[in-house]
Homo-oligomer: A and B are copies of this chain.
Amino acid sequence: MTKRPPSLRQKYSAYHYRAVPQEDTELTHVGPGTPCGEYLRRFWHPVAQSADLKDVPIALRILGEDLVIFRDGRGRAGLLQRHCSHRGTSLEYGFIEECGLRCCYHGWLFDIDGAILEMPTEGEGPYRGPLHHGAYPAREFHGLVFAYMGPPDAIPPFPNFDTFEAPGHTLSRGQPAGVSTVKPCNWLQVMDNVVDPAHESFLHTRSQGSLITDRNGRPVQELANLGELAFIQTPVGLLCQEARRAGPDIWVRSIEYIVPNIVQLAQVPTLPPTYRDGETRITFAPMVTRWRVPIDDTHTLELAFVRVRHGQENAYADRPSKVILSNYGGRPYDEMQRFPGDYEAQISQRPIARHGLEHLGKADRGVTMMRHMIREGIRAAAAGQDPMGVHRDHVGPWPTFGNDTVIRVAPAASADDDDALVRATARQITQSILQAPPMTAGAAIRI
C-alpha cells in the first residue's frame, strides 16, 4: 500500500505536492517470487498467437522471465527458458526439429517438456540420468497459445468459459498474425480501464465524437450520456454496468471483469434494436474475451478471442485497419495528442501508476473493487490456497455474466423518475443474469 500526500486546497500550490510516492508493489510487481507474480502464475495465460509459430523459434518475455516458444515438427507447442542449459546461448537461435528444439552452438536437443534428448558433444557423459531444461506447459487453443508458469503441482484446469462455444460462431484470435499489442506500462493500469465504464463517455465519445461504432458502423453518440453506474461482484469477477435511457428502450451495458486479467465485452447494440416478433428484450453476448498478460513490470501484452459468425470474416484479424487504432502504439505523436485513445490514457499514467496520487470517486468504484479482489487473490495464493478464478471441480463450461441488454420500457414521467426506472430495470436485469448466466443457461442471445 502506498502513502498518499495531502490533497491541495490552495491554488498555485504544486510546490507542496511534488513528492511522487512509490507504486503499490504488492499489486504491480510480477517477477518470479513477487506476491502478484506468484498469484498470476496460478492461471493459464495466452502468450502468443498460433499463427506466429512458424519455422523459427520466438523469443518472448512473460512475467519477467526470458523464454522461447516454438511449434516442433510434430506440431507440439513448446515453451522453454531462453538460455541453453549447456552454456547459456539463446535458444531463439536454435533449430526446430521433428521432436523439440536444438541449440545452435553445440547441438543440445530439448523436448517440449524440457527433457534433454541429446548432448551430441558428450557421448555417454557426463550427465547420468534424465536431465531437464526449464520448460512450462503450453497448449494451443483456437489460435492462441496458452501457458502455465506456476508451481507444477498446482496446475489448474485449462480455461473453459461458457463464451468459448457460442452457437453459430467460431472462437478466433483478436489480432492479425504477426501483430502483437504491447503497452509500455504495468498490467494493472490496463485492467483499471476494464472496470471503468465511465471512460467510454469521455475518452471515446465526448472528447472527440464517438469512436465506438455499433454493428452497422454508426458512431454511438448515446455513450456520451453518462448513465447509471453499478458494480456487481460475480462468482468470477465483476460486472461493470452502465444503464441508459435510449428513446423507447433502456440499454444496460455490463462489461465483465474476470479474475485475474480478463475482460469480456459486447459490441455496442444498434439503437433502437431490431426486435423480432413479440420480443421486448435482447441480450447481446460478449464479442471479445481479452487477456492482459504482463511481460514484465512495465510492459503488458494483449491477446484476445473474438467470436466470428459462421461464414463471416474476422474483423479483428482479417482487416487490421478495423481494429481501434487508439488502443495501440505506433501513431505519430501529433495524432496521439489530437486523438488520444486507451493507449495514450493508460501508458501515460507513468510506467507504473502511483495509486498514492489518485483521487478516486464514485465512478472509480470498479477500480477499487477489482484491486481488492486481486489483493485477496494474491494473499490466498501466498497462503497456499487456490485463489478465486481457479475452477478445479467445476463440471462443464464456466459461467460468465457479461452482456449488453436492451429492453423496451416506456419512459417515466419525470427525468428523476426515469433515472430511478433505469436503475431499477438494470437491477432486475442483473438479478436475472446472476441467477441464469445467459451463455450457460442457453438463453436466446445475439452476438
A interface with B by C-beta (< 8 Å): 7-19, 32-33, 41, 56-57, 65, 80-81, 83, 85-90, 92-93, 95, 102, 104-107, 111, 113-115, 119-123, 125-127, 129-137, 149-152, 189, 192, 198-199, 201-203, 206-207, 226, 334, 336-338, 340, 344-346, 348-350, 353-354, 357-364, 367
Contact = CB atoms under 8 A, between A and B. Distances in A.
Given A105-B345, A359-B131, A88 B353 contact: yes
Contact of A362 (B10, B92, B125): B125
Given A12-B114, A18-B65, A337 B136 contact: no
Contact of A361 (B80, B107, B121, B350): B121
Contacts of A105: 199, 202-203, 345
Contacts of A89: 344-346, 348-349
24 contacts: A7-B132, A8-B114, A8-B131, A9-B129, A11-B115, A12-B152, A13-B114, A14-B80, A14-B135, A15-B41, A18-B65, A56-B337, A86-B360, A87-B364, A87-B367, A88-B349, A88-B358, A90-B344, A104-B207, A105-B345, A106-B198, A106-B363, A120-B226, A122-B361
Contact of A344 (B65, B81, B104): B104
Contact of A151 (B15, B123, B345): B15
Given A122-B363, A203-B105, A345-B89, A17 B81 contact: yes
A198 B65 CA distance: 30
A199 B106 contact: yes
Contacts of A340: 93, 104
A125 B361 contact: yes
A201 B121 contact: yes
A344 B104 CA distance: 9
A12 B81 contact: no
A30 to B, nearest CB: 13
A435 B137 CA distance: 57
B15 A149 contact: yes
Contacts of A10: 132, 152
Task: State the copy count for this chain.
Answer: 3
A341 to B, nearest CB: 9
Contacts of A65: 14, 18
A151 to B, nearest CB: 5
B113 A12 contact: yes
Given A149-B15, A198-B106, A336-B93, A83 B350 contact: yes
Contacts of A87: 192, 349, 353, 358, 360, 364, 367
What 6 A-B pairs have minimum CB-CB distances, sorted nearest first?
Answer: A14-B134, A90-B348, A11-B113, A121-B363, A8-B132, A93-B340
Contact of A9 (B80, B102, B132, B149): B132
Contacts of A8: 114, 131-134
Nearest to A149: B15
B362 A123 contact: yes
Contacts of A114: 8, 11-14
A97 to B, nearest CB: 11
A339 B95 CA distance: 10
Nearest to A150: B15
B348 A92 contact: yes
A122 B32 CA distance: 39
Contacts of A129: 9
Nearest to A15: B151
A24 to B, nearest CB: 13
Q: Which of A90, A119, A198, A348 gathers the greatest number of chain B CB atoms within 10 Å?
A: A348
Nearest to A89: B345
Given A121-B361, A361-B119, A350 B88 contact: yes
A204 to B, nearest CB: 10
A132 B359 CA distance: 11
Given A89-B345, A114-B8, A207-B107, A152 B15 contact: yes
A364 B13 CA distance: 40
A202 B134 contact: no
B13 A135 contact: yes
